[in-house]
């Protein structure tokens, strides 16, 4: 079960990869405001959670009592939204006498590609990119995660949403920019590549880290200049393509630094932004024929219940389960995560 942001999602998983039921209900109300409104998200989850569960069970052809365990996203995310899912899962686990698995949202994204490709196994370098997170990891084995770099301000997905709003595009911004950028040239405007500079070495603190707030400001300045000159409408596709090219260049450059340092030429892309076509294309191109890119389909790249179920199964197989007094945590620590020295 997944309710960390604005998708109410439930999946029924049998074994490690057989999806019997899988329902994702998105909240369109946020398009009116150009971003997620936490109170509205929590209310929508509360109104829809029972129907989504019922639909997933019906699709799977089973009853609630047939479940062996219940996994739910416990964090990170919007606290009100998380509480809806965690509260429902705790009540169900208690009533049925089943194990409860409290899943970390970003760890769940690592398991998305594994649902479709059984060869998705560590070791690999992982880039997890979403609306709230940008993480670069080295994963030598499941449950052991070495943090290489992370965002120092805006996450990549957040930058997409903010730039889309500047361009008058709908929320969520990532898919809208991806579509518009296909009509433009990524080299039309030279935008900054934050935390990529000459003379950097692996000893520098920003070697693997990310920052997108400065890029967002550069786009805002460009949009204002084009608007004042009356050319913004004509240049919109080029602005979108140039912005996307800058983000992708930064992300893939950091990936390749991790590949070179770890010697691991297997790269997993996870999180909502991993559905971006240009990011996938450039990662495959730079990694080359000697590497392998591990990807989920777009449906399993976005927030979904299937990845939560798979991550919960991993924890269950290790003999873990959560106490029934577990609570949602908006800043839940990533389990097994250490910073690479």
pLDDT one-digit tens code per residue, 196-214 = 998 999 999 999 999 999 9
316, 279: one domain: no
Is position 129 within any domain?
Answer: yes
Q: Burial level of 5, CB count in 10 A (0-12/13-18/19+)?
A: buried
CATH of the domain at 315: 3.30.420.40
- What number is the average pLDDT over the span 90-111? 98
Q: Does a structural domain hold residue 196?
A: yes
Q: CA nearest 258: which of 153, 154, 340, 142?
A: 340
Tell me the percentage of the chain whose pLDDT exceeds 70: 100
Whether residues 51 and 128 share a domain: the answer is: no
Shared-domain flag, residues 284 and 317 = no
Residues 208, 94, single domain; the answer is no
Task: Answer for the pair 306, 115: CB distance below 8 angstroms, yes or no.
Answer: yes
Averaged pLDDT for residues 252-261: 97
Predicted confidence (pLDDT) at residue 341 exceeds the cutoff of 70: no
From the list 325, 324, 335, the residue with the least C-alpha distance to 97 is 324
In a domain, 22, yes or no: yes
SS3 84: helix
Same domain, 131 and 193: yes
Predicted confidence at residue 132, as pLDDT, reads 86
99, 227: one domain: no
Do residue 258 and residue 127 come from a single domain?
Answer: yes
Query: pLDDT at residue 316 above 80?
Result: yes
**pLDDT average, residue stretch 79-97:** 98
Is residue 34 very low, low, confident or very high in pLDDT (cuts 50, 70, 90)? confident
Q: How many CB atoms lie within 10 A of CB 224?
A: 12
Residue 1 located in a structural domain: no
| Bridge partner list, 144 | 141
In this structure, are 240 and 153 located in the same domain?
yes
Residue 2 lies in a domain: no
Average pLDDT, the chain: 96
Residues of the domain holding 179: 119-295
Give the total number of structural domains in the chain: 2
- Which pLDDT value is given to residue 53? 98
Q: What is the average pLDDT across 273-288?
A: 97
Examine the pLDDT at 35 and tell me if it is beyond 90.
Answer: no
């Amino acid at each position: 079960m997944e309710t960390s942001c604005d998708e109410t999602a439930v999946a029924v998983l049998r074994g490690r990869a057989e999806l019997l039921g899988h329902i994702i209900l998105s909240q369109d109300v946020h398009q009116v405001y150009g971003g997620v409104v936490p109170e509205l998200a929590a209310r929508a989850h509360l109104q829809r959670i029972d129907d989504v569960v019922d639909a997933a069970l019906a699709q799977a052809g089973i009853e609630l009592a047939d479940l062996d365990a219940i996994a739910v996203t416990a964090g990170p995310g919007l606290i009100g939204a998380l509480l809806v899912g965690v509260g429902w899962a705790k009540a169900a686990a208690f009533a049925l006498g089943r194990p409860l698995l409290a899943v970390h949202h970003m760890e769940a994204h690592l398991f998305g590609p594994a649902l479709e490709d059984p060869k998705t196994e560590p070791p690999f370098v992982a880039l997890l990119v979403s609306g709230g997170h940008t993480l670069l990891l080295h994963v030598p084995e499941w449950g052991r995660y070495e943090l290489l770099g992370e965002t120092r301000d805006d996450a990549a997905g957040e930058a997409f949403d903010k730039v889309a709003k500047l361009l008058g595009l709908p929320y969520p911004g990532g898919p809208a920019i991806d579509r518009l950028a296909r009509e433009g040239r990524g080299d039309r405007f030279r935008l900054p590549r934050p935390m990529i500079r000459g003379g950097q070495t692996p000893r520098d603190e920003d070697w693997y880290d990310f920052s997108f707030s400065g890029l967002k400001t550069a786009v805002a300045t460009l949009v204002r200049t084009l608007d004042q000159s009356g050319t913004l409408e004509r240049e919109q596709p080029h602005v979108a393509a140039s912005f996307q090219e800058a983000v992708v260049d930064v992300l893939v450059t950091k990936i390749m630094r991790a590949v070179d340092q770890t010697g691991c030429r297997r790269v997993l892309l996870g999180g909502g932004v991993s559905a971006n076509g240009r990011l996938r294309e450039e990662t495959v191109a730079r990694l080359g024929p000697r590497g392998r890119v591990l990807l989920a389909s777009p449906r399993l790249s976005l927030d979904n219940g299937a990845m939560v179920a798979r991550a919960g199964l991993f924890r269950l197989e290790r003999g873990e389960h959560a106490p029934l007094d577990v609570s949602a945590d908006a800043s839940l620590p990533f389990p097994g995560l250490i910073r690479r020295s």
